[in-house]
Amino acid sequence: MAGVYISFSPLILIIPLSLLLILYFIVRPKPVRVPIKNRHVFITGGSSGIGLVLAHLCANHGADVTLLARNVAKLEEAKQSIKLATGRDVSVFSADVKEYDAVKRVVEEAGPIDVLVCNHGVFVAQEMEEEELDEIRFMIDVNLMGTFHLIKAALPGMKKNRAGRGPGSIAIMSSQAGQVGIYGYTAYSASKFGLRGLAESLQQEIIADDIHVSLIFPPDTETPGLLEETKRRPQLTSIIAASSGAMKPDEVAKKSLKGIQSGTFIVPCNFEGFLLSVATAGLSPQRSYLMAFVEVMTAGIMRLAGLFFQWNWYGSIQKWHATKRTSSLAS
């Protein structure tokens, strides 16, 4: 029986090896380690969900933590829970990120920041046609403009504070809905996609100040915010979002902190998020030459995977409308 021999010459390895070598020299910005211990970590939305867990983690790492949110009682509760769990005192400030002057006052009172985590966020999932313009404006104002307010207020102090304190970080909590548009998230996705443009531009502006930007992309995460959201979000939003499953806030916070410490620009939180990040890498910075190698070598296949997901989602949408039509005819 003639065997089938697949002969390949070692020469074939030349291509990936030379690509690895090229990437080793060209990836920009260069890798960095952002210190957390004895650094001032300022977390917005740190009184609940992902931000609260992240605050606990940073306090555990010996950071001086400041929390900003609106609700004083929730802030006090967060302060107590962190004191109880880590023995560390955190500073808490009540302010609405929509109000620049209030944000500026808090940032000045809190003192120079080493790691700024713009984690605050609001999310109301609804078809654009049904959604009130005020609610659309609200999400853009909190998620996008609120982040501009934070960074505008904090950046001068972060730059001044760098001498001898090592690299600083500005971490922005986006969402997988900030990498791909999802049914019901027209306003939310727009606000989170906007953060991508902000982050990519800002990194070029502040790399010379040794401040490193991280964009974090969680899937559905089991927080009080998600609990609230799922009470009224469209069924199709849940069906499509389920493609990436759901995570615990602890898992997301751990991935977030790891990404911040390593100065990673695109921080996925689960396997689907990893696939999504490779598929949507675009021209975002990549500090890891190994990740750059994966992005270059799998770009094509990831696009195919993305098309499969789109095929699946549009199939669900079609099925949903067909079911809706049948049930309305039946009634």
Ligand X SMILES: NC(=O)C1=CN([C@@H]2O[C@H](COP(=O)(O)OP(=O)(O)OC[C@H]3O[C@@H](n4cnc5c(N)ncnc54)[C@H](OP(=O)(O)O)[C@@H]3O)[C@@H](O)[C@H]2O)C=CC1
Ligand Y SMILES: CCCCCCCCCCCCCCCC(=O)[C@@H](N)CO
CA distance 13 to 18: 8
Residue 279 contact partner, candidates ligand X, ligand Y, none, CB within 5 to 8 A by sort of partner: ligand Y
The Cα diameter of the chain in Å comes to 82
The answer to whether residue 116 forms part of the interface with ligand Y (CB under 6 A) is no
| Least separation in angstroms between CB 309 and ligand Y | 5
| Least separation in angstroms between CB 98 and ligand Y | 18
Candidate residues 27, 59, 69, 260; the one interacting with ligand X per rule CB under 6 A: 69
Residue 47 contact partner, candidates ligand Y, ligand X, none, CB within 5 to 8 A by sort of partner: ligand X
The answer to whether residue 79 forms part of the interface with ligand X (CB under 6 A) is no
Binding mask 220-259 for ligand Y (x = CB under 6 A): x-----x--x-----------x-xx---------------
Using DSSP's 3-state secondary structure scheme, residue 49 falls into: helix
Backbone angles phi, psi at 59, to 5 degrees: -60, -40
The answer to whether residue 219 forms part of the interface with ligand Y (CB under 6 A) is yes
Helices then strands (H, E): number in the chain? 12, 9
Q: Is 185 one of the catalytic residues? A: no
Q: Is 5 one of the catalytic residues? A: no
The answer to whether residue 50 forms part of the interface with ligand X (CB under 6 A) is yes
Sign of CA dihedral 260, 121, 77, 66: positive
Segment contacting ligand X by CB under 6 A, of 2-10, 45-53, 55-63, 124-132: 45-53
Retrieve residue 37's tokens: 């211990």
The answer to whether residue 273 forms part of the interface with ligand X (CB under 6 A) is no
Segment contacting ligand X by CB under 6 A, of 11-19, 113-121, 157-165, 280-288: 113-121
CA distance 123 to 139: 7
The answer to whether residue 305 forms part of the interface with ligand Y (CB under 6 A) is yes
Q: Is 174 one of the catalytic residues? A: yes
The conformation of residue 182, written as its DSSP 8-state character, comes to -
Segment contacting ligand X by CB under 6 A, of 33-41, 114-122, 292-300, 316-324: 114-122
The answer to whether residue 306 forms part of the interface with ligand Y (CB under 6 A) is yes
Q: Is residue 29 reached through a cis peptide bond, with omega within 30 degrees of 0 on the bond before it?
A: yes
Q: Choosing from 169, 188, 189, 256, which is the catalytic residue?
A: 188
Q: Are 132 and 158 in contact (CB under 8 A)?
A: no
CA distance 80 to 88: 10
Using DSSP's 3-state secondary structure scheme, residue 156 falls into: helix
Active site residues: 174, 188, 192
